[in-house]
Amino acid sequence: MQNTEFLAGRIRAVECFKEGWELIKDEYWILFAISLVGALIGGITMYILFGAMVCGIFYAYLRKVDGGRVNFDDLWKGFSWWAPGLVVTVFIMGPMFAVYLIMYLPFLLAIVMGSNLSQDELFGLLAGAFVIDLFVIVVMVCAHTLLIFTFPLIVDRNLGAFKAMGTSARAVLKNLGGVVGLLLVNFGIVLLGQLALCVGVYFVIPILIAGNIVAYRRIFPNQNPGNFAPPPPSAYQGL
């Protein structure tokens, strides 16, 4: 039976990142490589393999945080969760792409058709696009916050896509203060990375993921110590 139970009030953001760094620092570089290669593959495949790559990345980090050792092949274990990972990716990215397409379609049509917009018409389009853009950003931040534990749940608890998303949302709402703190520390670390000639942001990725995984583990304790075998494909029938 799939376990969807979780704890509340256990996330202390700064402690999570400190603990995460201590847990991964001896294998930082291999986790860095796994994270970077996984992100590149997810991007160049037009997000078709994005979910699988994210699952593989979280598999490696969960393995490390739970006391195991990491090897690069852990990334490919994400293909075991390709189906639910793809569903979550479509659910997250699909609405955003649709909204931006609708928002910028008038500009594209105007350019293609050679339309001569007046200054007032152009200003109106730009103002409308800005308002919609701001609204989309707020909605997506809220949605992504609710789904922050979705991929780890797919990997760790073998949940289907929709059950993982629902469980993540419930867990976030019960740990909202801790999750908000987690996001603020995430933002601070990213900002520091950007200040390091921008390239530093890539090198803090393992720290960000580790901190989030530690936070995940505090509210979703390990149910199967030492068991890192991915599930068979039949586990996700009826997503």
pLDDT in tens, 141-151: 898 999 999 99
The pLDDT assigned to 191 comes to 93
Q: Looking at per-residue confidence, does 150 or 106 come out higher?
A: 150
- Tell me the pLDDT tens digit for each residue of 126-137: 777 777 778 877
CA distance 99 to 134: 12
Distances (CA, A) of 50 to 28, 39, 131: 22, 7, 29
Confidence of residue 98 (pLDDT cuts 50, 70, 90): confident
118, pLDDT greater than 70: no
pLDDT exceeds cutoff 70 at 237: no
| Contacts by 195-198, CB closer than 8 A, 24 or more apart | none
What does pTM read for this prediction? Answer: 0.85
Q: What residues does each domain of the chain span?
A: 26-219
* pLDDT value for 108: 67
- For every residue of 168-218, DSSP letters joined together read HHHHHHHTHHHHHHHHHHHHHHHHHHHHTTTTHHHHTHHHHHHHHHHHHHH
CA distance 227 to 158: 12
Closest alpha carbon to 139 in 100, 181, 191, 87: 100
Rounded CA-CA distance 151/51 in Å is 8
Residues 15-34 have pLDDT tens digits of 999 999 999 999 999 999 99
Backbone angles phi, psi at 196, to 5 degrees: -85, 65
pLDDT tens readout for residues 42-54:
999 989 999 999 9
Q: d(Cα 192, Cα 180) in Å, to the nearest integer?
A: 19
